[in-house]
Chains A and B, each alone.
Chain A
């Protein structure tokens, strides 16, 4: 009898961990975009959550209204939102590159405007997006839907692709150079304007991808951008602002802590735990786990 409870608890814990992993992965993809943008433009982009929301919205329109295959939707949403991000960067962020405060205010204005424009066209109701991978799989006794597994795998693929892009490609090299020292990069002939546009677009595309992926699990409405933005902030502080590896590790830590916190304590307590971790982090190592001053 006692052993049964123990086994049940173990599978329950596994279940909690797997769910934490899925949410953590989504947050990581959002945070990666945010930290990329911060690392080369020094902009804390409060409109980033809106890009995630737009991704979810695109998923809803294309899958429910037009019935396009989901993988195609993912690509389409990334392109659409990415191009939108490039336009936004050109018009609104270029004049303030490297200036923290004005860019912060502009991003807040953008966030309000985008959110309300969507609200007027979309309404405030929750819309659900039908799943593409129905069914469950049994993972050592823990039930895990195939859909969530697909999300985790897709996110891992995205993270690896981004890693390859940043570390191996020429454009990734330019991004790293700008993050290191903008003037020096410009002197070496790196086209700062173009790289900034590209990176901003890439960051937005990543947020949109996260929005598309999670849409079938939760629901879509104009307000869904707030929560992942908050989590992404916590993750990039935890991992070190501007550090991609830090965002991945920070996301995994936050996902695990929050799902266990929710399981053992309560939802508010687990949220509190996340904030307490970053306060401690900032006090003892302000640059985060993998950041450098």
Chain B
């Protein structure tokens, strides 16, 4: 292993350690709240990104998150299930729905798939906000979703999820697991196949790849994690309202991926982090928040069409060139 890899691993390790010690540096609930939103957005962005690696754009990602959130909240509140069981079930629920919808609609491409997912997302949100009000709570949604049940892990005192700190650690662990899974997936044979579908699906089909199978697989996997994120959202922020999962939220997730840079694995993570922080910084300016956000989007697209990540790549490339010149 050469020196380059060491620096890479040390950087990643450094970031992870930093994320773990944040609650020790600042116990301000507001900071932790922002970081939890950021972590959730990373899960959502990276899981949408895996769908985009097969060349499909989904505008229903927030709706699948809603499926997870409602499933989890209802399982815990109506059936008395524990959160630790409800969370995977809500992921599976979103995945099953994605499997059904995906196997019908994934033969559509480009703008058509984008618009069919848009319509599907709107249908789900309409159902959540207007039908079966006794169950879904109508427009105001479900209020008072309980925090996750306390768990006991060997060698550690029993963890009670009452304050923000344990909830933050829960979000952090889930995010790290998700990122790790998708990183492994991306570098596996399956990930290569996904990439092939995006680059040339006709060619991929000609050499015997069942493109429908792989597209459905990517869509289902992405939506599974959207469902998990929904469950985490519901139990961390205790309210589930349909408006939180509207089409605009799906658009935001798409923006994280595109602004971060969809060609690279780090892109969505970077995009979700940068834009979540940007919108928090801009929040105190009131209405100017959306202007700043809107202008930021336009500027990034005009000057960095392959996302913020390309800026870093460019800088690294320049630095390397400089080093080469110095070394002769």
A residues apposed to B, CB below 8 Å: 38, 42, 44, 92, 95-96, 100-102, 104-106, 108-113, 115-117, 119-120, 230, 233-234, 237, 241, 266, 268-269, 271-272, 275-276, 278-279, 282-283, 286
Contacts and interface: CB of A to CB of B under 8 A. Distances in A.
A233 B114 CA distance: 11
B291 interface: yes
Interface of B: 57, 104-105, 108, 110-112, 114-116, 118-120, 122-123, 126-127, 129-131, 251, 254-255, 258-259, 262, 287-288, 290-291, 293-298, 301-302, 305
Contacts, number: 111
Contacts of B255: 105, 108
Given A92-B302, A102-B305, A282 B290 contact: no
Contacts of B129: 268
B251 A120 contact: no
Contacts of A38: 111
Given A106-B301, A113-B295, A268-B129, 13 more contacts: A101-B262, A105-B255, A117-B291, A230-B122, A233-B115, A241-B115, A266-B130, A268-B130, A272-B123, A272-B126, A275-B119, A275-B126, A279-B120
Contacts of B118: 233
A279 B290 contact: no
Given A96-B301, A102-B305, A275 B123 contact: yes
A271 B120 contact: no
A112 B293 contact: yes
A261 to B, nearest CB: 12
A283 B291 contact: no
B123 to A, nearest CB: 5
A282 B108 contact: yes
Contacts of A100: 57, 110-111, 114
Contacts of A268: 126, 129-131
B111 A241 contact: yes
Contacts of A117: 291
Given A272-B127, A282-B115, A105 B301 contact: yes
